[in-house]
């Protein structure tokens, strides 16, 4: 797997901590906190994995994931969600529909996320 990861989250502290953990694990990280920049940044960095906050101001993670998956050249990029909220069956269905293959509940240990990324062979539906 390529080592480029894009993190999209409005929480600067989480972006900094997660970026640091990923960089120390050998990843090339691009962190952004503005959902308007996502498609432009994907074009520039061509990430192997996208880490996406579900609850974002303006455009939420469901909308962002749908936009990414509706562009054929990006539809194979695994999207891993991150959320502090509780999600029930409706949200689980929506995550699958939008192409979010796994969701980590905040707060989580960065090493758990890194271990998951490193063991991914191909995008799988895990819900």
What pLDDT does residue 120 have?
A: 81
What pLDDT does residue 122 have?
A: 53
What pLDDT does residue 86 have?
A: 62
41-97: per-residue pLDDT in tens?
A: 999 999 999 999 998 888 888 899 999 999 989 988 999 999 887 666 666 767 777
> pTM above the 0.85 mark?
yes
pLDDT classification of 16: cutoffs 50, 70, 90: very high
Please tell me the CATH code under which domain 4-119 is placed: 3.40.50.2300
Domain boundary assignment for the chain: 4-119
Phi, psi for 30 (deg, rounded to 5)? -120, 120
Helices assigned H by DSSP within 9-109: 12-24, 38-45, 61-69, 89-98
């Amino acid at each position: 797997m390529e080592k480029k990861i894009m993190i999209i989250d409005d929480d600067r502290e989480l972006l900094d901590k997660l970026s640091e953990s990923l960089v120390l694990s050998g990843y090339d990280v691009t962190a952004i906190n503005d959902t308007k920049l996502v498609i432009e940044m994907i074009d520039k960095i061509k990430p192997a994995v996208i880490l996406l906050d579900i609850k974002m101001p303006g455009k939420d993670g469901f909308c962002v994931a749908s936009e990414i998956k509706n562009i054929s050249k990006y539809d194979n990029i695994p999207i891993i969600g991150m959320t502090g909220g509780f999600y029930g069956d409706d949200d689980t269905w929506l995550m699958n529909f939008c192409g979010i293959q796994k969701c980590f509940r905040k707060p989580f240990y960065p090493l758990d996320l890194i271990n998951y990324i490193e063991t991914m062979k191909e995008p799988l539906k895990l819900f």
